[in-house]
Amino acid sequence: MSTKRFLLFAILGIALGGALVYKSRSQGVASGGQLSPFTAHTIVSLTDSKGVNTTYQIVTAVRSDGGHVQQNVTGAPTTLSINTRISDPVSRTITKWNSITRLKSTLVLSDNALASLRWKYQSTACADRFGVGPEDPHFMGWDKVAGTQVAVYGREDQVAIWKYYIAPGFNCFQMKQTEDWKDHGGGKTVSEATQIVSGEPNASLFQVPSDAVEATPSAYEHEMTQAHFPGQPMPSSMEQSMKRRDGGYYKSRDMALKLGIKLPELQRP
C-alpha cells in the first residue's frame, strides 16, 4: 500500500467521521452521572509495505456535559492542516471546519446523537463498548498506555490483526489501536495517546473561527482533497456517499428550522 494511498485514506477517512476507529455494534448504556472530562494527544503512524512512514496528530477533548472535540493535524504535503469536529450539546450542533480551506459544515444533532454524547459505559473493563459475536473483539488482558490503565481487546480477519486499548477511567476512551495489515502487501497503522490530561478541556477547542464559510459536505470534502492533493479528483467511490451526505445535510437544516435552531447561512453549495 503506497504512502499516498495511506495518507489520502487517513485525511478523507477521518474527515468522514473516523475511518481508522473500529465501529462498535453496541448502542451504549445511558448513565445519569457526568462524564469524566479530559484532553488527549494522540500520534497516528502509517507504515506501508515498503516501510515508508507517515505520521499525524489527533487532539481529543471531552467535557463533563458531553461536548466532544476531535482535531486531526497533518502537514501533508507541506502545509499544516487542522480538521476539527465539534459536537456541542449546548447549541445542539455538530460542526466540522478546516484551517486551510476555511470551510465549515454544520448539522443539527438528532435526539439519539444528543443522548449518545452523554453515554457512559458501565463495564469495569469496557466490555459493553463491543459486541459479543465471534468476530467482535475479545478481552485479552490489562496494560498501560501513557501511564493510564487500559483493557486490551483483539480481533483478526482477512484484512488485518486488530488490537484496541481502552481506558475505563476516561469514559472507555481508546488510548491506542494497532492494525497489522494483511492486504496490499502489508503495512501497519498505530494510533497511540502520548498524553491524557484529566479536567475540563480548554474552551478554545470548541470555538469555530468567525471567518469560516458554511459549505455542504461535498464542497467541504472536495476542497479538502484539493488542499492536500491539488488537481486530484475525489475518489469515485465517494461520489454516492457525498450525494447521500448532502441529502442528509439539507434535511438537517430543515429540522433546525422546526426546532428553532439557527444554523450558519450556507455559502458554498
Condensed to tens digits (0 to 9), the pLDDT of residues 232-243 reads: 777 777 888 899
Instruction: Show the beta-strand stretches assigned E in the chain.
Output: 38-47, 53-62, 68-74, 81-88, 93-98, 103-108, 138-145, 148-156, 160-167, 173-181, 188-198, 213-214
Spell out the alpha helix ranges (H) of 106-216.
111-116
Alpha-carbon torsion 224, 201, 68, 212, what sign?
A: negative
Q: How confident is the model at residue 77 (pLDDT cuts 50, 70, 90)?
A: low
Contact 202, 84 (CB under 8 A): no
pLDDT tens by residue, 188-197: 999 999 999 9
HSE value, Cβ hemisphere, 13 Å, CA-based, for 159: 7
Which CATH topology does 3-24+38-121+174-259 take?
Answer: outer membrane lipoprotein receptor (LolB), chain A (2.50.20)
Query: Three-state SS for 104?
Result: strand
Residue 217's pLDDT is what?
94
Separation CA 31–CA 247 (nearest Å): 33
Q: What is the mean pLDDT of residues 227-231?
A: 79
Q: How many Cα atoms are found within 13 Å in the side-chain-facing hemisphere of 120?
A: 19
Contact (Cβ atoms closer than 8 angstroms) between residue 100 and residue 226: no
According to DSSP, the β-strands at 68-74 and 173-181 are unpaired
Say if residue 16's pLDDT is above 50: no
Pairing of strands 213-214, 103-108: parallel
The span from the first CA to the last CA of the chain, in angstroms, equals: 34
In degrees to the nearest 10, what's the CA dihedral of 85, 99, 221, 245?
30
Report the range of poorest mean pLDDT among 67-81, 137-151, 241-255: 67-81
Distance of alpha carbon 124 from alpha carbon 87, whole angstroms:
26
pLDDT level of residue 78 (50, 70, 90 thresholds): low
121 three-class SS: coil
Burial of 90 by CB count in 10 Å (0-12 exposed, 13-18 middle, 19+ buried)?
Answer: exposed
